[in-house]
Amino acid sequence: MIQKSMRFAYQGEPGAFSEAAAGRLNPSAETMPCRAFEDVFAAVASSAATHGVLPIENSVGGSIHRNYDLLSEHELPIVGEVELKVEHNLIALPGVTLADVRRVYSHPQALAQCEVFLRSLEEVDIVATYDTAGSARMIRDGDLRDTAAIASRRAGEIFGLSILRERVHDYDSNVTRFIVIARDPTPLGPPDKTSILFAMPNKPGALFKALSVFALRDIDLAKLESRPLRGTPWEYVFYLDLNASRTDPACARALEHLAEFATFVRTLGSYARWNQPL
């Protein structure tokens, strides 16, 4: 259940999409901007924030790999998720025209989601930055009249920029899924989804064997992601989302079965799937 007193840490400046995701979870919660994803984990670990909101995948740009790696590195459970429809706009200082623009700033994920539009711009350098809203702030602070940013409408309003082009993303169905981390493992709603991390011996059929423990019990797999096993070249760990609660008997037995032959199994969290309209 959503708590009354919550403080959400998020990566980026005010106006970032992560801030908007926190607002979808709890409009009355306090928010805490952080420079980097690592800082979000640190804020939650130190109790400077009750929760952290982190993008984990986008329907166009794919997975945010750094946050998968950080989940592995920290012992902060996933307690919820939220989905947000993302609308990108090209924004610049008032009076600047598209013909004036020689550079476009934004986060790499946002740039990837606007690839078709960006290819249509001639003699314009595309520059990756740490944040969408942060790009808008850089333009304002530097009074950059030859630079535009791809960011939210709200970021433009906060930093006094005007919209040059609306909705420059490549696909209308541009949705980002965010996870919520906390020190307290209590889920924000009745859990019906579980995320795990596991590794298997490098043998033929090992992954098939791992996934079969869920197939045999009719457990739906929502997502499978592999990441390098640090320090061991060409070995991998797997992140798996299951549409079942960790406490469901079938899911619990499947995880016990997996642990019998996996190198290791770790539950990252059991939490409520997001089921609200976009």
Tell me whether residue 178 is one of the annotated catalytic residues: yes
Q: Phi/psi of residue 254, each to 5°?
A: -65, -40
Would you say residue 237 lies in a domain? yes
- 144 shares a domain with 178: no
- What does the pLDDT look like over 82-133, one tens digit per residue? 999 999 999 999 999 999 999 999 999 999 999 999 999 999 999 999 999 9
- What pLDDT does residue 126 have? 97
Would you say residue 278 lies in a domain? no
Residue of 31, 132, 176, 194 marked active site: 176
Cβ–Cβ < 8 Å for 252, 196: no
Residue of 8, 37, 159, 178 marked active site: 178
- 99 shares a domain with 38: no
Q: Phi/psi of residue 111, each to 5°?
A: -60, -40
Work out whether strand 62-63 and strand 89-92 pair parallel, antiparallel, or are unpaired. unpaired
Domain ranges, residue 101 = 89-165
CATH, residue 118: 3.40.190.10
Q: How many domains does the chain have?
A: 3
Would you say residue 188 lies in a domain? no
Would you say residue 131 lies in a domain? yes
Tokens 């969290």 -> residue: 269
Would you say residue 16 lies in a domain? yes
- What does the pLDDT look like over 135-182, one tens digit per residue? 999 999 999 999 999 999 999 999 999 999 999 999 989 999 999 999
Tell me whether residue 147 is one of the annotated catalytic residues: no
**DSSP codes joined into one string, 56-114:** EEETTTEE-HHHHHHHHHS---EEEEEEEE---EEEESTT--GGG--EEEE-HHHHHHT
Would you say residue 246 lies in a domain? yes
- 197 shares a domain with 148: no
- 205 shares a domain with 258: yes
> How far is residue 179's CA from residue 112's CA, in Å, rounded to a whole number?
21
- What does the pLDDT look like over 21-58, one tens digit per residue? 999 999 999 999 999 999 999 999 999 999 999 999 99
Would you say residue 110 lies in a domain? yes
- 216 shares a domain with 160: no
Would you say residue 124 lies in a domain? yes
- 81 shares a domain with 113: no
